[in-house]
Amino acid sequence: MASSIMGQPHVFAGPKVLPVAAFRRVALPFPAPPSLPPPLPLARPRRLASLVATRAKGKTTAQEGSGSLQPKSAKDSDKSSASVPTEEEEEVEEDLPWIQEKAMDLVEFTGTVTQAIPGPRVGQSKLPWILAAPLAYIGLSFVIAFVKTVRKFTSPRAQKRRLVNKNAMLLKSIDELFVEGDSGVQYPALEGLMQKTGFSMEEILRKYIRYALNEKPFSPELVVNLIHLRKASMLDDPQVAEVLNEVSRRIVKEKGPVVMDISGFTEKGFKRKLAVQALFGKILYLSELPEFCSRDGSLMTKEIFGVTDEDADTLRIHTLSESGDVDSLEKMVDDSDTEGSIDTS
């Protein structure tokens, strides 16, 4: 027995080393996975590759953590590193835990929604800035157009144009009332014109008197129409006297006072002074008609035109000769008074 032992070579009594082929056939021990709920079925197989890769990396990390707990020799570490590709291929069939799958779904859904939301993204796209430039231009153009429109309608020129249009409409309406006859020129009709134009009754009478003296021949028919308008306005004598004073002021402001000696003026100045004399004579004639205005201290036409009593007598004669037959004028005024009394009764 001793010779047989002596005849055999000495073998070191140590750990039994398995061949390499046998080692590869033995599966390495791994910690058992924690008990988790069964994984949900994957709805989209196309995401399997990315999930498998993530799972494989997680397994590799778990192997490193378990290796730190279980000491291995250098040969074991080399063999385990050589067996990593085989383990990855075996773990392809494993599913992710449902918590990780839900987290991946949430990440993917968040990215999809973020891409779908319109709006500026800092450092990602230049499209919002491209849209901001035209929008800013359109907004600036709108503001400029609005300011120009407001200035256009509130400028003195626009206000004067609107006033001229209202004056023309007023004068045309009164002429149409005179065409209808005496029944057309009544206070309700004038009150309607007041509401339509916004003028007072004094302004309506003043505007038509000045229009008639400038644009119409100073005939008996015109004087009768002015008397009818004065009565339909229902104004008092002091108010009518103030209307004549205002007409006189506007004429003097536009054409100047009455000048009796017109020698040395140019043709244009000569015609202007003759026109002022004629206008003063017409206003003087109306102011002296008892049917139109009573003579009281409020009437100041002579003082406004700068005319003396002698000059007024001279101009009064010329006005009466221009107006035509005085007897026919007085007869027309008397007839109008009679018709007015009949209508009133």
Q: Report pLDDT for 315.
A: 82
- What token pair was written down for 203? 């302004």
Distance from CA of residue 327 to its chain's centroid? 65
Assigned domain for 40 exists: no
**Domain check: are 54 and 195 in the same one?**
no
d(CA 269, CA 22): 137
Would residue 332 count as lying in a domain? no
305 by Cβ neighbours in 10 Å (0-12 / 13-18 / 19+) ranks as: buried
Range of 93-102, 139-148, 150-159 with top mean pLDDT: 139-148
Has residue 186 been placed in a domain? Answer: yes
Report whether pLDDT(151) > 60: yes
Position 215 pLDDT exceeds 80: yes
Q: Indicate whether 316 pLDDT > 60.
A: yes
Same domain flag for 170 and 83: no
- Whether 234 has a pLDDT exceeding 60, the answer reads yes
Residue 319: inside a domain, yes or no?
yes
Higher confidence at residue 97 or residue 10? 97
Q: Which residue has the higher pLDDT, 276 or 340?
A: 276
Give the 3-state secondary structure of residue 266. Answer: coil
Residue 113 has what pLDDT?
47
In a domain, 259, yes or no: yes
Same-domain pairing of 201 and 284: yes
Residue 267 and residue 167 in one domain: yes
What is the full DSSP assignment across 146-183?
HHHHHHHHHSHHHHHHHHHHHHHHHHHHHHHHHHH-TT
pLDDT digits (tens, 9 = 90+) for 235-281: 998 999 999 999 999 999 998 898 888 778 888 888 888 888 889 98
Q: Classify residue 119: in a domain, yes or no.
A: no
Does 312 lie in the same domain as 214?
yes
Q: Give domain status of residue 194, yes or no.
A: yes
The pTM for the full model equals: 0.53
pLDDT computed for residue 88 by the predictor: 47
Average pLDDT over residues 17-45: 49
Note whether 163 and 298 are same-domain residues: yes
Q: pLDDT, tens digit, for every residue of 47-86?
A: 444 444 444 444 444 444 444 444 444 444 444 444 444 4
Higher pLDDT, 325 or 209: 209
Task: Find the range with the poorest average confidence among 31-45, 143-157, 174-188, 204-218.
Answer: 31-45
Residues 76 and 190 in one domain: no
Angle between helices 156-180 and 201-215 (to 10 degrees): 80
Q: Are residues 191 and 318 in the same domain?
A: yes
3-class state of residue 102 by DSSP: helix
> Residues 278, 189: one domain?
yes
The domain total for the chain is: 2
Kindly state whether residue 7 falls inside one of the protein's structural domains. no
pLDDT band (50, 70, 90) for residue 185:
confident
Average pLDDT over residues 157-173: 89
> Phi and psi at residue 21, in whole multiples of 5°?
-65, -40
Return the pLDDT at 130. Answer: 73
> 174 and 320, same structural domain?
yes
Q: Are residues 88 and 206 in the same domain?
A: no
Q: Quote the mean pLDDT of the chain.
A: 70
Is the same domain home to 163 and 85?
no
Gap between the Cα atoms of 82 and 305, Å rounded: 126
User: Could you list the residue range(s) of the whole structural domain that residue 178 is in?
Assistant: 156-326
- Among 10-14, 145-149, 283-287, the minimum mean pLDDT is found in 10-14
